[in-house]
Chains A and B, each alone.
Chain A
Amino acid sequence: MSNRLHQLDRPQALLLYAADELSHDERAEVERRIGADPAWAAELQRVRGDAEWLAGAMGELDRGDAPPAPSAAIEREVVRAMRQWHVDRASAEAGNVARRGWRIPSMMEVAVSAAILLLCAGVIAPVFISLDKLRQIAGDPAPPVVSESIAATAWIGDWDPAADDEALPTALLASRDTSLSRIEQELQELQELGALSDWTQ
């Protein structure tokens, strides 16, 4: 006998035999026993009789005993629950897509903010450098009274607006134009006063 059959008693082995769930070798071994031992043959008849009786009895029970609810009603109920599950899943997936969609503008916002900061740093730093230069030129412990934006003309002079306009957001351009007009206005006033005559040469 194979190892598995060693672990089974006679009715158990015959139960597997009657259900056709033995391997080829196991089956051959059981058939040898049935042929050699009348007790095994009688037991097999009982097992087969039990199986037929149970199948018949359960079939009759199911025919006579109504299911918990009409089959169509149960099916409808489960299918409805299944559809709801699909809707919930689709909604969850749509939510994920929407959340993924929001990441792009967020990154754009970060990039624009960074660009603005860099631009501001690029404007403010030359202003302070130019103020120092202005004070050195003036050689006066009491520097001439100028606004910071006037000194920025040193940097503005090197800046090519035509080349950079396209890269700047509209709001920034408007702000830049306002600053430029103010600077030009103050520059003109100072030129009239002659305060920048040495520095501009």
Chain B
Amino acid sequence: MRVQADAYAMPEPDAHPAAPAEGVSDEALVQRLRAGEGPAGEALVRRHQQALIRYLQRLTGNDHQAEELHQQTWLSALDHLDRFDPAISGGFKAWIFRIATNKANDMWRSRARQRAAHEGLRLVREDSAPPAGERIEWGELAGKLKHAIERLPDAQRQVVMLRYYSGMKFIEIAELLGCPLNTALGRMHKAVQKLRQMMDEPIPAEAGGET
């Protein structure tokens, strides 16, 4: 009785049309990058940036923050490249998502010191939302889902987004977040239940403008 593996994971993006590193493992590219081969680093960026930026976008709910964290993530990865050990870090993808998650957590902690975290994130979302006239037209499902994701507790949202965008195993996600496996699985289960429940609800007035 086999089931589809990685059912919760984002499909792998198509290879970059001009990717010179096609077929080369992430770890081999890291070795080349350490040796000073710049294009190896660029190949790594091309390979992972799409999933990474999407993950940060969903996690923060803010495009500007996502971009900033994305860049910080790569620079931090470069600075700590000598410490990357695939045997310990669980592969480059897990490692880069771990850095991104830590960066997002740092940002939240920093915000929390200034104001209540929930209020802060709400303000950021409101401030950064484009004027109504410039807003992109959403499909109803997509708009509702985005709103529902933003309403999830941070811990649950992190597990869902890590699972979907990084494709990491649940045990790796648990290690990354520093929680027991059953906690990570429980958050995933509850998050999906909540999302489905919220998707069945009528569109809230505050989300209506975005649809």
Q: Is the CB of A90 within 8 A of B36?
A: yes
B 192-209 contacts with A by CB, 8 A: 192-193, 195-196, 199
Q: Is the CB of B7 within 8 A of A61?
A: no
Instruction: Determine if A60 is an interface residue (Cβ-Cβ < 8 Å).
Output: yes
Chain A neighbourhood of B182, CB < 8 A: 7-9, 12
Q: Is the CB of B50 within 8 A of A78?
A: no
Chain B neighbourhood of A68, CB < 8 A: 53, 57, 63-64, 66-67, 70
The proximity string for A residues 93-110 relative to B, scoring 1 for CB distances below 8 Å and 0 otherwise, is 000000000000000000
The proximity string for A residues 35-67 relative to B, scoring 1 for CB distances below 8 Å and 0 otherwise, is 000000000000110111111011111111111
Cα-based distance from A19 to B66 in the complex (angstroms) = 28
Cα-based distance from A79 to B182 in the complex (angstroms) = 39
**Which of B41-49, B83-91, B100-108, B115-123 is near enough to bind chain A?**
B41-49
Query: When the two chains form the complex, which single residue of A8, A62, A75, A77 contacts B185, counting CB atoms closer than 8 Å?
Result: A8
Cα-based distance from A12 to B188 in the complex (angstroms) = 9
Interface centre among B49, B136, B185, B186 (most CB of A within 10 A): B185
Chain A neighbourhood of B180, CB < 8 A: 7
- Beyond A4-B181, A55-B8, A81-B74, whether A62 also contacts B192 by CB under 8 A is no
Instruction: Determine if A31 is an interface residue (Cβ-Cβ < 8 Å).
Output: yes
Q: Is the CB of A61 within 8 A of B142?
A: yes
- Beyond A34-B1, A78-B49, A82-B42, whether A15 also contacts B71 by CB under 8 A is no
Chain A neighbourhood of B3, CB < 8 A: 17-18, 20, 48
Chain B neighbourhood of A16, CB < 8 A: 170, 185
Cα-based distance from A57 to B143 in the complex (angstroms) = 10
Chain A neighbourhood of B142, CB < 8 A: 57, 60-61, 63-65
Query: When the two chains form the complex, which single residue of B41, B139, B146, B170 contacts A82, counting CB atoms closer than 8 Å?
Result: B41
Query: When the two chains form the complex, which single residue of B70, B136, B145 contacts A66, counting CB atoms closer than 8 Å?
Result: B136
Chain B interface (Cβ < 8 Å from any Cβ of A): 1-11, 36, 38, 41-42, 45-46, 49-50, 53-54, 57, 63-64, 66-67, 70-71, 74-75, 78-79, 136, 138-139, 141-143, 145-146, 149, 160, 164, 169-171, 180-182, 185-186, 188-189, 192-193, 195-196, 199
Given known contacts A65-B142, A82-B74, what 5 new A-B pairs fall within 8 Å (CB)? A9-B182, A51-B192, A68-B63, A75-B45, A78-B49
